[in-house]
Amino acid sequence: TEGGTYVIMEDIKLDFNNELMDPNCIGAYYPTTDQADEYPGAGGREGPFFLGFFAGITIETTDGVTLDLGGHTIMMSKELFYQQGF
């Protein structure tokens, strides 16, 4: 990632892999095993994502980043709020 100012262009509501028919089902809000290339540890017992999604946005650079919400919001869905374990 390159340093600079990044502007959010719309409201963001986080709701990771929510099974809308049953938000309490096993695996809801976790990366699936078929997403393991993108999310290492998905479906396993080790790796960065084995406990699920840890953040909606990460800034990974030492070059300095400003995240400008541009008047928009970043929020979690009500379902994710109630399911979030930590």
Give a three-class secondary structure readout of 62-80: CCCEEEECCCCCEEECHHH
C-alpha to C-alpha distance for 31 and 45, rounded to whole angstroms? 13
- At 44-77, the pLDDT tens digits run 888 887 877 777 888 888 889 999 999 999 998 8
- At 3-40, the pLDDT tens digits run 899 999 999 998 876 665 676 777 767 788 888 898 88
